């Protein structure tokens, strides 16, 4: 079975600084997708960024980028120029051939002034 591990329950970053959230996963599949989802205090989950495993290039969405290390099964999220609105729970997620997402336990990000 696939597993997703987020070893950082909480992280803190100062406004305008950069922070990296870690995620590792375990799978025997060769074709899969990885995601970072954000859950703000309002609770509605939204997709931040997606990475296809067959793509070597790391995905980027504005201030959000990933460091995808397929051999190491690592998928970290970097948030640059952090803003107060980035404060949220961040979940790493995996999907392979089955039509379902497996989530990690989440990292709560605090953004301070």
Binding site residues, another protein, CB under 8 A: 6, 33, 35, 42-47, 50, 91, 93, 95, 99-106
CB of 78 to another protein, least distance (A): 21
Measure the CA–CA gap between 100 and 89, rounded to whole angstroms. 20
Taking the chain, what is the end-to-end CA distance rounded to the nearest angstrom?
Answer: 41
CB of 76 to another protein, least distance (A): 17
CB of 66 to another protein, least distance (A): 14
Task: Determine whether 80 is exposed, middle or buried from the number of CB atoms within 10 Å of its CB (0-12, 13-18, 19+).
Answer: middle
- Chain center to CA of 1: 20
CB of 57 to another protein, least distance (A): 17
Task: Determine whether 46 is exposed, middle or buried from the number of CB atoms within 10 Å of its CB (0-12, 13-18, 19+).
Answer: exposed
């Amino acid at each position: 079975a696939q597993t997703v591990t987020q070893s950082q329950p909480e992280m803190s970053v100062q406004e305008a600084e950069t922070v990296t959230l870690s995620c590792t996963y375990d799978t025997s599949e060769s074709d899969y997708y990885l995601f970072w989802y954000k859950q703000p205090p309002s609770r509605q989950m939204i997709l931040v960024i997606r990475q296809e495993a067959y793509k070597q290039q790391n995905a980027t969405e504005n201030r959000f980028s990933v460091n995808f290390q397929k051999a190491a099964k690592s998928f970290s999220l970097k948030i640059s120029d952090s803003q107060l609105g980035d404060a949220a729970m961040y979940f790493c997620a995996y999907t392979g051939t089955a039509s379902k997402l497996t989530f990690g336990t989440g990292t709560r990000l605090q953004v301070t002034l």
